Amino acid sequence: MELCELFVPRNTTVKSEYYEGLLERLRKDVRRKRPENWADGFILHHDNAPCHTSLLVRQFLSNKNITVCPHPPQSPDLEPCDFSLFPKVKITMKGKRFESIQDIEAATTAQLKTLMKRTSRTASASGKNDGISVFEVGGGGF
C-alpha cells in the first residue's frame, strides 16, 4: 500500500465499512509484496478505536485468519504515534502555507518518508526500534 493511499478522503468518516476495505487492501498488498509474511499470517496491532473493535471488523479479521494484538490500556511501553511521529512531522511543516490539500498530503508524505528512512537506518544500526514503527514505503513495503 503506498503511503499516499493512507490519507482518508475529505468528508469521509472512518467507520467499520471504510476500515474493512482498508484492511482488505492491506491484506492483498501483504500477499503480493511480502509473500513470506503471508504464508504464516501476520499480526495486526490495534488500539481500541471504535472501527477497530466493531463486530464487522472483528468478523473480517477472524474470517481472514488475521491475528490481532490488542493495545493494552495505559501502557507506558507502547508509545502511540501522537507522541513520537506526529510532532516530528508538525515541526517541519510549522509556519508553512499550502495552496491545496494535495500540497499538504505531498509535504506530509515526503516528511514521513524521510523520517522512516532515518528511523530504519537507526533501528538497523542499533538493533532496536526507537519509538517509530519501521517499515518501507513504496516498492518493497506496504
Question: What per-residue string of b and e applies to 7-29 under the rule 16 or more CB within 10 Å gives b?
Answer: eeeeeeeeebeebbebbeebbee
User: What is the tens place of the pLDDT at every residue in 18-67?
Assistant: 999 989 988 888 888 888 767 667 788 887 788 888 999 999 998 888 88
3-state secondary structure of 43: strand
Please count the residues of the chain: 142
Q: What percent of the chain has pLDDT over 90?
A: 10
pLDDT of residue 139: 37
Q: Which cell numbers in the block locate residue 33?
A: 509484496
Confidence of residue 77 (pLDDT cuts 50, 70, 90): low
What is the pTM for the complete model shown? Answer: 0.55
